[in-house]
Amino acid sequence: MAIQVVMPRLSDTMEEGKILRWLKKEGDRVEGGDIIAEVETDKADIEMEAFGSGILRKIIVGEGDSAQVGRLIAVIAEEDEDISAMLTAAPAATGAGGAVAGAVAAGPQVLQSSSEGRVMASPLAKRIAREQGIDLSVVAGSGPGGRVIQRDLATIAAMVESAPAKPTPVSPVSPPRESRKAEAPSPPFADFEERELSPMRRTIATRMAQSMASAPHFYLTAEAAMDRARELRDSIQAQAADLTVTFTDMIVKAAAMALARHPAINASFAGDRIRVYSRVHIGIAVALEDGLITPVLRDCDRKGLAQIAKESKELIERARSRKLKPDEFTGGTFTVSNLGMFEIEEFTAIINPPEAAVLAVGSIQAKPVVEDSRIETGHRMRMTLSCDHRAIDGATGAKFLQELKRLLEKPLQLIL
């Protein structure tokens, strides 16, 4: 029986994937469980395996091309099986230029007529197509189920606009001077470079805009004395040469303990209810060249500082090499974002939905402080908690931040 290989949903935010490379070529024998391709998602580069055996009869989405989740990208079948019906029904793949790559390869002639027929398209897309004379039958939709939506038409319009114009015949007789129109001035040379959004950057843009639009953020800032935390970290490093404990590790452990004591922060807004999680899974924001990803450390409240340090190091290394597995960047209940290593004193972070809060951590700075009526040098760190006001009130967030500050200022509790 022929097997349809479709673009899998490899993360909770994934809408499309790009084929980085096929590890099998057409005509190769494939067994169930074989890795047949590498797919770039908005989170990581992930190996895709076959879920059946047969011959890789047809590759529909080539290397470097993208396809929406659920779209047919290849067919596995035996040599004597007829796969023509599958190939006929297969929608076009998305290329590097956008949702309609290939549809306008011939230039502006796709705008000749509007022949909507039974093409799936949103009402707005149909209206725009009628007004602009776009043939929907040649447009590959990027909406649910391959539905043509407004952005698909915007993409095709941009591609047509940039296509070279056909030469206009020149009359041998010049028109009268009074009928000539002044030529439009040429646009100045563009001193910028446009870079196409990567799947990761596209998802970040969408989700962060949705978060700010839907979740009413409020912010709470506290400053923690980090002198004892610095001493504890130095002591650990001196006694355990094979273990590296970072301040982020200490903050994650302290946050996990504070979340266990203030579970209302370890929550998310779910429409007509608030979901409070019984397990503490903390995402650690990791900066990549083309965006940001938050690998998730699970059950942080039940793990010691040394285990958190070891696991976080491994997760961050895999995140930077884009080798995270789907279960390693999903399911977080709270996020810590530390920019202290970049000498950022203080900042606010956008909540990572569906979580209800995120902690933004600045650098540890030496500054004059008052101790027992004396001015001394102390080390202070500012932390800002962003909260979703639909799920968390100000006093609730303040109590959590107060607990976190207390744990960091008396850090022996992190290792006892």
Helix, strand, or coil (residue 327): helix
Q: Which helix (H) or strand (E) holds 381?
A: strand 374-388
Q: In sequence order, what are the residues at sequence separation of 6 or more whose Cβ sits closer than 8 angstroms to the Cβ of residue 230?
A: 364, 379
Q: Which residues of 91-114 are buried (b: 16+ CB within 10 A; e: fewer)?
A: ebbbbebbbbbebbeeeeebbeeb
Helix, strand, or coil (residue 399): helix
DSSP 20: E
Provide the annotated active-site residues. Answer: 389
Q: Which two tokens stand for residue 97?
A: 């230029």
What's the distance, CA 5 to chain centroid? 24
Q: Which two tokens stand for residue 389?
A: 């006001």
Q: How many CB atoms lie within 10 A of CB 57?
A: 21
d(Cα 348, Cα 212) in Å, to the nearest integer? Answer: 12
State the pairing for strand pair 374-388/357-371: antiparallel
Q: Please provide residue 202's backbone torsions phi and psi, each rounded to the nearest 5 degrees.
A: -65, -40
Q: What is the 3-state secondary structure (H, E, C) of 236-280?
A: HHHHCCCCCCCHHHHHHHHHHHHHHHCCCCCEEECCCCEEECCCC
Handedness of CA 292, 297, 301, 304 (dihedral sign): negative
DSSP string, 161-213: HHSPPPPPPPPSSPPPGGGPPPPPPPPPPP-----PPPHHHHHHHHHHHHHHH
Helix, strand, or coil (residue 39): strand
Burial of 174 (0-12, 13-18, 19+ CB in 10 A): exposed
Identify whether the C-beta of residue 196 lies closer than 8 Å to the C-beta of residue 99.
Answer: no
Q: How many CB atoms lie within 10 A of CB 21?
A: 12
What's the distance, CA 346 to chain centroid? 24
Q: Which two tokens stand for residue 86?
A: 């599958």
